[in-house]
Amino acid sequence: MLDLHIHSTCSDGADTPEVLAAKGALIGLHAMALTDHDTTRGVPAFLAACRQHRLTGLSGVEISLAVPAGTLHLLGYGIDPEHAGLQRALDQVRTGRAERNAQILARLQGLGFALTWPQVAACAGGDVVGRMHFARALVAYGAAPDVQAAFQRYLIRGRPAYVERFRLTPEEGIRLVREAGGLPVVAHPFLWLPDFETLAVGLTALQAAGLGGLEVYYPEHSPEQLVQALRLVQKLGLVATGGTDYHGAMKPGLALGTARGGFCVRDDLLPPLLAALPSRRGVAGPFVPPEEAGPA
């Protein structure tokens, strides 16, 4: 069993990279990938912990990309977490996020909520503060009954506290992941383009720019969407991946490896993914000879 889409305290998750590896080993996962938002800071500790627990670990990152509508996120697997070009781009993305956060706080205060930055930052517990943490702060403040309601009322596109931020273009994101030695994969594709035919056209265009894979197995996919995603990877020759999008307590009810209980990413997805990686620098664990795994 695999989980190739997880988040730590280095972005908007509740568990440290080391704890994630320990939890994965405890429940019997054979491979995991740390895919924090816009940062690779937790990757070295995560890979070291995966080696310690004798499970395969993959370096990763999740990057939000600029598109006219929907939400397009790119997963980069097997990247060199210290690649200079990628780090410069991620620094730029994080700066844009910080500027956006200041504007969101100002808008919420303008709506009459006496929220302060320390209150929002306290909901993060890590370096990256995003809309999830504003949502949690709004729940703690009493402005919404839960995180989903906070997003729907204030934080999604078109609502009063939503603010756009700097994002890379899809082509830039794919190029940077490739330059960092990784495999670029579209995450939760139906959040980007819910229509099958339109998604097929969009993925074909991204494949021409270097896209290598598609997140087929995702907890929010309906049975019909799962079949459609499988058709797309077969049609386009993309690598199929999958994961829970685990955030720990930041997303209650979503368990590592199994999501809400009936979800599972099979082990047989791992060999094609490893084979598609340009190098093994961002991989650690028992499926990879130690001399190929690179420094932790």
Distance CA 246, CA 35 (A): 10
Q: Calculate mean pLDDT across residues 125-129.
A: 71
- How many Å separate Cα 66 from the centre of its chain? 15
Whole-number Cα distances in Å, 260 to 33, 216, 226, 247:
19, 17, 16, 13
Domain boundary among 107, 129, 155: 155
Same domain, 124 and 216: no
Structural domain span for residue 193: 2-89+166-293
- Go through the chain and tell me how many residues it has: 296
Residues 151 and 175 grouped into a single domain: no
Of all helices (H) and strands (E), which one includes residue 105? Answer: helix 84-110
What tokens were used for 72? 């397009």
The pLDDT tens digits for 223-254 are 999 999 999 999 999 999 999 999 998 788 89
Average pLDDT, the chain: 93
pLDDT at position 271 is 94
109, 128, 155 — which closes off a domain? 155
Same domain, 101 and 244: no
CA–CA separation, 1 and 106 (whole Å): 44
The two structure tokens encoding residue 104? 């969101």
Query: For residue range 206-223, what is the model confidence (pLDDT) as tens digits?
Result: 999 999 999 999 999 999
Same domain for 126 and 6: no
- 264 by Cβ neighbours in 10 Å (0-12 / 13-18 / 19+) ranks as middle
Q: Provide the 3-class DSSP secondary structure of residue 58.
A: strand
150-196 pLDDT per residue, tens: 999 999 989 999 999 999 999 999 999 999 999 999 999 999 999 99
Rounded Cα distance between 123 and 136, Å, is 6
Same domain, yes or no, for 190 and 49?
yes
Q: Which residues pair with 3 in a beta bridge?
A: 32
Check whether 197 has a pLDDT greater than 90: yes
Both 280 and 181 in one domain: the answer is yes
Neighbouring residues of 140: CB distance < 8 A, sequence distance ≥ 6: 119, 123
Closest among 223, 224, 240, 249 to 124, alpha carbons compared: 249
Residues 38, 97 contacting (CB under 8 angstroms): yes
Structural domain contains residue 161: no
248 is written with which tokens? 């720990």
Return the pLDDT at 251.
81
What's the confidence (pLDDT) of residue 157? 87
Q: Are residues 281 and 234 in the same domain?
A: yes
Last residue of a domain, one of 102, 134, 155: 155
d(C-alpha 58, C-alpha 251), whole Å:
22
Residue 140: inside a domain, yes or no? Answer: yes
> Domain check: are 79 and 98 in the same one?
no
Number of domains in the chain: 2
Give residue-wise pLDDT tens across range 23-39: 999 999 999 999 999 99
